[in-house]
Amino acid sequence: MMKKTIFAASKIIGETHLVIPLKKKLQAFFIFKQLVVEKTQIFF
Query: Any idea where the domains of the chain sit in the sequence?
Result: 1-44
Q: Quick: pLDDT tens for 1-29.
A: 678 888 888 888 888 888 888 889 999 99
Distance CA 24, CA 8 (A): 25
d(CA 33, CA 43): 15
Confidence of residue 30 (pLDDT cuts 50, 70, 90): very high
3-class state of residue 8 by DSSP: helix
- Please, which pLDDT band fits residue 43 given cuts at 50, 70 and 90? low
- Cα–Cα distance between 31 and 39 in angstroms, integer? 12
The whole-angstrom separation of Cα 32 and Cα 44 is: 19
Please give the Cα distance from 44 to 27 (Å, whole number).
26
Instruction: Give the pLDDT of residue 20.
Output: 83
